[in-house]
Amino acid sequence: MKLIIALLFYLFLIGKSFAETEKNIYQKIDLFSEVLSKIDEEYVEEINQSEVMDAAINGVLQSLDPYSAYMSPKMLDDMQTETSGQFGGLGIEVGMEHGVVKVISPIDNSPASRVGVKAGDYIVKINDIQVQGKSLTEAVELMRGPVGSDIEITIRRIGTKKAIIFNITREIIKIESVKSKYIDGNIGYLRLTSFNENSSDQIKKKIREFNKKDLKGYILDLRNNPGGLLSQAIKITDFFLEDGEIVSTKGRKKSENKKWFAKKGDLTNGKSLIILINYGSASASEIVAGALKQHKRAILVGESSYGKGSVQSIIPLKNEGAIRLTISKYYLPSGESISEVGVNPDIQIEESSDAFVINTKTDNQLNFAVKLFNG
């Protein structure tokens, strides 16, 4: 009898807790409506209530993490245009950190990379408009404009006291995800700038071409590669492994808890591999570099990577917009998370000077990798 009474009391407490939680939610909704009403009636200028609601929705999502966001129908359409491989803009991948827009990486040979914008730069102004306090999507909208038009961005760079101003002309951005060449006639150099739908096919084709020569080994350059498709990261990692776990994801739903393993067959026949990374290497780049490092299949040279170890899903909404929501996190074969930690190189080599440009004579990181092969 005592057991039954105790159980009923426990169920009563649980029911009361749920009821109080539900009541608190409705109170918050009432409070939100009251705040909106006060703003509409008393704010110094007239407001567009639709825009205010969009900003509120986005605020909820961005309070979760820097990568979750609301996309209006127009923003979703713009994003789909970008993923087709050709779009107008500056050529930078950006994220949000502590309310400030941060450059994850500039795209190779883009207007931004040519003027000197670097991974890790903080964008504080766009055409004299303060960026702090704006959402990431709002900042991206400010950077967009007609092809051929000019834009002025003001950035802050760690280690530099004064703000740096860049004047950039918008261009159609063409993404060529794979570039390759022979170095010294016996090193296969593969530069991967993003993980697009056909990146793995391109890499496989280049490896087969390289295999026709007697190579010392390969250099896989993932610097300033902001990531892309997880499926491509898994395929490209598998090209260099015989077996073993590549990556796993974990989320709230059981369906998001997955593991991926390498299939038998190293396309390079176990040839030596050096991977170049820097702060602009993020997400899918970190999966490839981290997995191959932990399997002792590659030596990592350069600087620590960005630390974006989460998976976002685009979830459609009834208004033909969408939300980009983090649904799971990446974990390396050891079980370590990449989020906010990144992947550390085996050999730390920092950029030698402000004149540094990837894959040129000023590229001391690539030069170091070549010296490792040549002894």
Mean predicted confidence (pLDDT) in 300-313: 93
Identify the band that residue 125 occupies on the pLDDT scale cut at 50, 70 and 90: very high
- Determine the pLDDT at residue 15: 56
- Determine the pLDDT at residue 3: 47
- Determine the pLDDT at residue 85: 46
- Determine the pLDDT at residue 100: 86
CATH number for the domain whose boundaries are 86-173? 2.30.42.10
Question: Among this protein's residues, is 312 annotated catalytic?
Answer: yes
Nearest to 153 by CA among 119, 115, 120: 115
Distance CA 242, CA 220 (A): 18
- Determine the pLDDT at residue 364: 95
From-to residues of CATH 3.90.226.10 in the chain = 175-374
Residue-wise pLDDT for 131-165, tens only, equals: 887 877 788 888 888 888 899 999 999 888 899 99
Q: What is the pTM of this model?
A: 0.78
Name the fold adopted by 175-374: 2-enoyl-CoA Hydratase; Chain A, domain 1 (3.90.226)
- Determine the pLDDT at residue 23: 66
Mean predicted confidence (pLDDT) in 210-234: 93
β-partners of residue 273 are: 218
Among residues 248, 272, 294, 312, the one annotated as catalytic is 312
How many percent of the chain have pLDDT more than 70? Answer: 91
Identify the band that residue 8 occupies on the pLDDT scale cut at 50, 70 and 90: very low
Among residues 281, 283, 285, 365, the one annotated as catalytic is 283
Residue with tokens 């998001």: 256
Residue-wise pLDDT for 267-306, tens only, equals: 999 999 999 999 999 999 999 999 999 999 999 999 999 9
- Determine the pLDDT at residue 7: 46
Question: Among this protein's residues, is 283 annotated catalytic?
Answer: yes
Token readout for 121 is 């730069």
- Determine the pLDDT at residue 80: 67
From-to residues of CATH 2.30.42.10 in the chain = 86-173
pLDDT, mean over the chain? 87
SS3 string of the chain? CHHHHHHHHHHHHHHHHHHHHHHHHHHHHHHHHHHHHHHHHHCCCCCCHHHHHHHHHHHHHHCCCCCCEEECHHHHHHHHHHCCCEEEECCEEEEEECCEEEEEEECCCCHHHHHCCCCCCEEEEECCEECCCCCHHHHHHHHCCCCCCEEEEEEECCCCCCCEEEEEECEEEECCCEEEEEECCCEEEEEECCECCCHHHHHHHHHHHHCCCCCCEEEEECCCCCCECHHHHHHHHHCCCCCCEEEEEEECCHHHCEEEECCCCCCCCCCEEEEEECCCCCCHHHHHHHHHHHCCCCEEEECCCCCCCEEEEEEECCCCCEEEEEEEEEECCCCCECCCCCCCCCEECCCCCCCCCCCCCCCHHHHHHHHHHHC
Of the listed ranges 1-5, 115-119, 224-228, 357-361, the least confidently predicted one is 1-5
pLDDT: is 176 or 114 the higher one?
A: 114
Identify the band that residue 11 occupies on the pLDDT scale cut at 50, 70 and 90: very low
Distance CA 205, CA 210 (A): 9
Among residues 62, 308, 310, 365, the one annotated as catalytic is 308
Residue-wise pLDDT for 99-122, tens only, equals: 789 998 898 888 999 999 998 899
Residue-wise pLDDT for 56-103, tens only, equals: 888 888 889 888 888 888 888 776 655 544 556 898 888 888 778 999
Identify the band that residue 28 occupies on the pLDDT scale cut at 50, 70 and 90: confident
